[in-house]
Amino acid sequence: MRLIILIIVLLGIDQWTKELVAGSMSEGDTIGILNDFFHITYVKNHGVAFGMFQGEIKTISIVAIIAILGIIYFMIKQLKPHEVISKYAYAFILAGAIGNMIDRIYRGFVIDFADFRGIWKFVFNMADVWINIGVFLLVLEVIILEKRKKQIKKRN
C-alpha cells in the first residue's frame, strides 16, 4: 500500500509541475533562476530521453506501455518481501514512466521544463527525475548486495 501511495504522490507532483508550466508559459519561454545556472524552460518533447526518436509517439507509447506492464508484473510476481530497495526503485521508475505516458496520451507530447544550463543542454521533467532516482536505487542495491557477498566470503 505504501508503494501505491508513493506512486500516486510522485505522479501528482509530476503532473502538477507540468500543468503549472503549461498553464503559465508558452512553448520556448524561459525563466532564469539562480544566475543563469537553472532555468524553467517550456519544451514540448515529441520523443524520449535526450530528444531521441522525435515524432515517433505511437512507437514510444507502445514500448512505454509494455515497459509499464512489465514493471508492474515484475513488482507483483518477482520481488521478494525483503527486497525493499528494489520495490522503491521500481515504484519511482513506474511513476516516471506513467507520468510521461500520461503526457503522451493526454497532450501528444511530454512537457519538459527543468533546464540546468550550467551542467548540460538537456531539458527534463519530474518524471525523468523519478526514473533516474529509481535507477540510482537499483545501482545502490547492487553495490550493497556485492558488499554483503564479499563480507560473507571473508567470514567463510
Task: Write down the H helix ranges in 53-125.
Answer: 57-77, 84-106
Return the higher-pLDDT residue of 154 and 93: 93
Predicted confidence at residue 97, as pLDDT, reads 93
Q: Which of 14, 103, 115, 128 is catalytic?
A: 128
Burial class (CB in 10 A: 0-12, 13-18, 19+), 25: middle
Q: What is the pLDDT of residue 79?
A: 76
Give the position of cell 520495490: 87
Q: Which of 14, 103, 112, 115 is catalytic?
A: 112
How far, in Å, CA of 127 to CA of 8, rounded? Answer: 12
pLDDT value of position 54: 65
For residue 56, give the C-alpha cell.
Answer: 515517433
Residue carrying the nine cell digits 503526457: 103
Any catalytic annotation for residue 128?
yes
Q: Say how far apart CA 30 and CA 11 lie, in whole Å.
A: 24
pLDDT tens digits for 81-102?
A: 778 898 999 999 999 999 999 9
Is 90 exceeded by the pLDDT of residue 21? yes
115 classed as catalytic: no
**Phi and psi, residue 40, nearest 5°:** -100, 115
Share of the chain above pLDDT 90, in %: 49
